[in-house]
Amino acid sequence: MDHLRLPSIFVSHGSPMTALEPGAAGAFMQALGTRIDARFGRPKAILAISAHTAARAPVLLAGTRHEAVYDFGGFDPKLYTLRYDAPGAPALASRVTALMSAAGLPVHVSPEGGLDHGNWTPLRYMYPDADVPILPLAFVPMHSPAQQFALGQALAPLADEGVLILASGSITHNLRRVFEHGLRGPVDRPEIAESAAFRHWLLTRSGARDWDALFDYRARAPHAADMHPTDEHLLPWYIAAGAGGRENAPLRLHDSVTYGSLGMDAYAFGAQAARLLEHEPAGAALT
């Protein structure tokens, strides 16, 4: 099928254990890959942006092949047996470099490959055959939400070229709260009030396209500093949002919580985002 304009996507990758214990979010990501293919056609490539791949200046990892990087410790040893050997997308690096340069944004290109768990966890569910070329982009975590949004705006033309912009992080991310019962604490703990309030605020401000509030979330959102002591896990959301455009309200596709406070929400951005919920009840999660 001919490619339609792809929405950009943000997924919460959760604990590394998500790769072994999919839960509701894993089931959602499995359905998401199938739904993207059915509604828009298989992406020609994926520009992958993860909270765990960051640098002092933007860097494209333009290796010809990628493998899973095990950037964690202390979890189930089975995690180290999981693989995701995917083709790289070095040719796409030239296109992304041109787009960023045209927007006055610096970017470096590295011949290295590798996918951190924020990338390979959702990709193993979305595209388990590892047959879609991937170009990781290391972002700058010191940049503000508005600057991340501007980066996404620069990347927006990729959506018309069959390239899926897939950002990964976490809607809420306070590891002290998440692991206060240890690395193997109860994954199904009831959600704490602070997490629920923050997620609801992000949902309602998104629906209102209140970009001023969203860019200033640390001052305006309830419990922002508690839910994001550092904000590198939320910043990829803004890159995906920028690619979708200011005129389009971010659309929540999925919401769930693990460990009582680790939000697993996923969003789609862009004029065609609602196609991912076709034949679903209004407001329903894609599960």
Half-sphere exposure of 132 (CA within 13 A, CB side): 26
At 72 the pLDDT is 78
Digit-coded pLDDT (tens) for 219-230 = 999 999 999 999
Q: Any residues with CB less than 8 A from the CB of 274 and at least 6 apart, and which?
A: 251
Question: What does pTM read for this prediction?
Answer: 0.95
Report residue 12's pLDDT band, with 50, 70 and 90 as the boundaries.
Answer: very high
Average pLDDT over all residues of the chain: 93
At 182 the pLDDT is 64
At 279 the pLDDT is 65
Q: Name which of 280, 284, 283 is nearest 38 in CA terms.
A: 280
At 276 the pLDDT is 95
Backbone angles phi and psi of 136, in degrees to 5: -75, 145
* Annotation: CATH topology of 8-277: Protocatechuate 4,5-dioxygenase; Chain B (3.40.830)
Instruction: Give the lowest-confidence range in 71-75, 274-278, 280-284.
Output: 280-284
